[in-house]
Structure 1
């Protein structure tokens, strides 16, 4: 039952009011302290003070100044609920023309819990038993005041069909607990309760720990450097030190070094612990050394692969009169035309190594036709170089003399 506490400030005056649920405390004109429960109405009653007296109230929640109301020849200061409902120490000081008075009122929280506030973080932790989430549980009364120290709080933890309970005692208005990660991945369900009051369920996700070293393998349909097919790199199932498969989306960096020591990179993300990447075959014979890594965490083995020439030779026909050079047909290892778009390079230079023109054209139906520029004087000595798919042909061209290479 809610009570109204009256703290009467006068000289040696104590009064019980029959037929009411109010209590007036006799308090001398010195520093005093009274105690009430949160939710009780709080009034200070004074006699023999001026009407313009003011009461300054200071609590953990707010600071305010109250004016008195004259009731039955006494001056009454009634505290607003937003102050009297909040637990903690409340201090007051009366500013009166005759003499200042001051005192304290301690507001105790309710004894029965109404709600439980839970805070948990971080919500994602690494497997292995070294990382943890922190749970803070605060049982409160109906006015949102934390309960008194000494209240017992039961913490429930559920993981992989195993339920554990632990009883903790409130200290400094709360209880706390470290929720240690497990060796396996999964969800840890956590809740707390006081008497018949229960908190909401909270979840801490245990994710895989750092990945460990892994292997890669190469898959390709043939070994030829045709610039068309793809080579697939595939990792083994990547796991952490506790045999958990790494999280989907883990980025894997693939490194490819060719025979000229050029380094290329490509990336793949894991799905079910496996990452894949595809590489287009080179357009000329080459050897690659391929490895993979998860930067700063894990490395793979190295794999060396070789690409064979897809063509051994091709035919070149020069037509000086029409200033044209025809290349082809370009046929692959099965005798078929190379894929349309295969690049053919023509370079025009001289014996001194100077380069005057450089052209690149894609093939179509295995053929490429170059048109020699009009400003190219065929009376001079030029060296023509044609390259495609790792095969190089070099020849010179004289006017009025067709060449067949």
Structure 2
């Protein structure tokens, strides 16, 4: 009797377990939905007990409460999840049977916008530099379209128009567009499923300049310390014969016959750089060379300047303490322009006491030797103008 009773209990437990195992059954068969669809997961159940479903995707995780109607259990996926593409994993909680699954949400196949990125906006001509176009076709819920969506890339430069096709991968489509040999402006646009992007442009800039020639112009060849010599370059071009960009900085270095160096500079306009330098005040020979720093250089330009003064008059007044130099005459016997430097060096017992430098005005220079500084006695006086020096030995001051 006990054996039969135990057997009955064992059978009842088995039936109970089987019934519990079959308590919840998935009825929904769809494994893929389109973003924006209303998504319900439907289950068959023998219980009125409510459950919770744990949902997770790449955007995050959430819990959903069930609804039970006529032995059917429903879970409605919220729109903030159903609007996003990707794989959604779900699992019913507090259930011994570990009921779980997943489905995929795919984007709509009609883009409403093309997110487009282009850069850099300026590249160097020559074919080695490039700009990258990145296009992300998205649907009306801002989901990127599926992998393999065709994107047409179109670009125009001068008389050339080209079209290429690229496919989206990892949410984006991209295309590297190499620079042409010539400088100018390239127009770029894209299209996907009959939707066109706006127009973008890229500046094709000239490459770095190559070596160039140097020229000069001046009003005359005399070293008057007044006129201007203008240096200018040939049209500086890159290796593809494009004129280099305006504003390129050019340094001009001038070496005179004493080995001293002068420097001037200019920037290019239409490929030509100009720089100016005042004439020397004495006979000189210049060697001029120009550089675009670290990039290119010119040939050496040689310029000669002739002296304008062979001699000049010097007169002493007021106990030899007032010294009049002049008239200082130029190459056509005219008065030299104002501003010529004249130096008076005064010595006592072969020791230099002072150098006094003044500039000419109306062809003359006047020096005053102060008696409080230079006591009465004999001095050596040297006067230099335009590299011509007159020396007066044992000049008595009183």
- Please report the TM-score for the alignment, with normalisation by the length of structure 2: 0.85
- More deviation in 313-322 or 89-98? 89-98
> How far has the Cα of 1:351 moved from its partner?
4.1
Q: 1:12: which partner in 2?
A: 25
Tell me the C-alpha RMSD between the 2 structures: 2.6
Shift of the 13–358 alpha-carbon distance from structure 1 to 2, 3 Å rule, reads closer
* Equivalent residues of 2:377, 2:397 under 8 A apart: no
Q: Using the TM superposition, give the Cα deviation of residue 198 of structure 1 relative to its aligned residue in structure 2, in angstroms.
A: 0.6
Task: Report if aligned partners of 1:118, 1:136 keep a CA contact under 8 Å in 2.
Answer: yes
CA distance in 2, matches of 1:81, 1:70: 17
Q: For the structure 1 residues 399 and 255, does the alpha-carbon distance in structure 2 shift closer, same or farther, using more than 3 Å as the test? A: closer
- Tell me how far 1:206 sits from its aligned partner: 1.4
Give, in angstroms, the shift of residue 201 of structure 1: 1.4
Question: Is residue 2:279 matched to residue 1:281?
Answer: yes
For 1:30, the equivalent position in structure 2 comes to none
In structure 1, the residue matched to 2:358 is 361
Which of 304, 323, 326 matches 1:325? 323
Q: Secondary structure at the match of 2:80?
A: helix
Cα deviations by residue, 1:115-137 (Å, 9 ceiling, x for unpaired): 22222222212212222112222
Query: What's the counterpart of residue 22 of structure 1?
Result: none
TM-aligned CA deviation for residue 378 of structure 1: 4.3
Distance 1:288 1:161 in 2: 48
Superposition deviation, residue 10 in structure 1: 6.2
Deviation readout 1:250-290 (Å, 9 max, x if unpaired):
11111111111112222111111111100111112111100
Pick the aligned partner of 2:113 from 112, 115, 134: 115
The answer as to whether partners of 1:252 and 1:268 remain within 8 angstroms in 2 is: yes
SS in structure 2 at match of 1:335: coil
Q: Using the alignment, how far apart are the partners of 2:54 and 2:357 within structure 1? A: 91
Where does 1:145-294 land on structure 2 (aligned, <5 Å)? Answer: 145-294=143-292
Among 88, 91, 104, the residue aligned to 1:106: 104
Native 8 Å contact 1:49 1:98 kept in 2: no
Query: Which has the larger Rg?
Result: 2
* Alpha-carbon distance between aligned partners in 2 of 1:390 and 1:109, rounded to the nearest angstrom: 88
For the structure 1 residues 110 and 10, does the alpha-carbon distance in structure 2 shift closer, same or farther, using more than 3 Å as the test? Answer: farther
Per residue, is there more helix in 1 or in 2? 2
Q: Distance in 2 between matches of 1:363 and 1:212?
A: 45
In the alignment, what sits opposite 1:338?
336
**What SS does the corresponding residue of 1:381 show, helix, strand or coil?**
strand
8 Å contact kept, 2:53–2:64? yes
Query: 1:296: which partner in 2?
Result: 294
Contact 2:53–2:66, Cα closer than 8 Å, also in 1:
no
Give the number of equivalent residue pairs. Answer: 373
> Does the CA contact (< 8 Å) of 2:345 and 2:382 recur in 1?
yes
Q: Deviations over 1:230-268 (max 9, x none)?
A: 101111111111111111111111111111111222211
What are the ranges of 5 or more consecutive residues in structure 1 without an aligned counterpart? 1-8, 15-24, 27-32, 401-405
Which of 372, 382, 394 in structure 1 is aligned with 2:391?
Answer: 394
